[in-house]
């Protein structure tokens, strides 16, 4: 969970610095904070997974384009692209009968508390992960679209708020829907 909150810091810093400083300062801070996020991930997990690499690549690409075009909205599309892509990825694997959350639990059991792992390895826990892979995929795509719209139409405060609070709401709604 710490990695999740750490991944939000570059976006929050961008929103604040872009509002009160220049675009260039906001982009440099975003790069520095992304490097810190990478170091933390390498220390805590030991490697960068596909999602981390995709996120880092998006930061590099969108920061570069924002700098070259002098357009802050380009970088503001990062969470929209990342979340919609992750949602599509989850739905594609779900369609091929390989729910990604089930794969994650089986691939990284050491990252999950033992009490939770006991529950997730039961038939009902496996069924919940299977359904959550679908509902979370849909929620992430919807969230990505809303954040993309917000990045274009709203100021930095509302973009950051919709990004962070909206993601939490999307995860909660997807989780409740998967359980029902």
Q: Are residues 21 and 8 in the same domain?
A: yes
Last residue of a domain, one of 47, 76, 105: 76
Model confidence pTM above 0.85: no
Provide the number of structural domains found in the chain: 2
Q: Are residues 104 and 160 in the same domain?
A: yes
Confidence of residue 1 (pLDDT cuts 50, 70, 90): very low
Q: Are residues 60 and 102 in the same domain?
A: no
Q: Are residues 111 and 133 in the same domain?
A: yes
pLDDT tens by residue, 46-101: 888 777 788 888 889 999 999 999 998 998 998 899 899 999 999 999 999 999 88
By residue range, what is the domain housing residue 36? 1-76
What does each C-alpha distance from 111 to 6, 17, 28, 114, 174 come to in angstroms?
Answer: 17, 34, 32, 9, 22
Last residue of a domain, one of 28, 43, 76: 76
């Amino acid at each position: 969970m710490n990695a999740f909150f750490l991944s939000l810091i570059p976006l929050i810093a961008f929103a604040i610095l872009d509002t009160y400083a220049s675009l260039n300062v906001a982009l440099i801070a975003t790069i520095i904070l992304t490097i810190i996020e990478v170091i933390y991930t390498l220390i805590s997990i030991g490697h960068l997974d596909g999602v981390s690499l995709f996120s880092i690549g998006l930061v590099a690409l969108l920061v570069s384009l924002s700098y070259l075009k002098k357009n802050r909205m380009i970088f503001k599309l990062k969470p929209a692209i990342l979340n919609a892509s992750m949602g599509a990825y989850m739905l594609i694997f779900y369609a091929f009968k390989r729910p990604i959350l089930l794969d994650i639990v089986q691939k990284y059991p050491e990252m999950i508390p033992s009490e939770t792992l006991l529950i997730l390895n039961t038939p009902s826990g496996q069924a919940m992960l299977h359904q959550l892979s679908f509902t979370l995929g849909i929620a992430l795509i919807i969230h990505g679209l809303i954040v993309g719209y917000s990045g274009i139409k709203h100021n930095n405060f509302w973009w950051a708020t919709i990004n962070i609070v909206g993601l939490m709401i999307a995860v909660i709604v997807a989780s409740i829907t998967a359980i029902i």
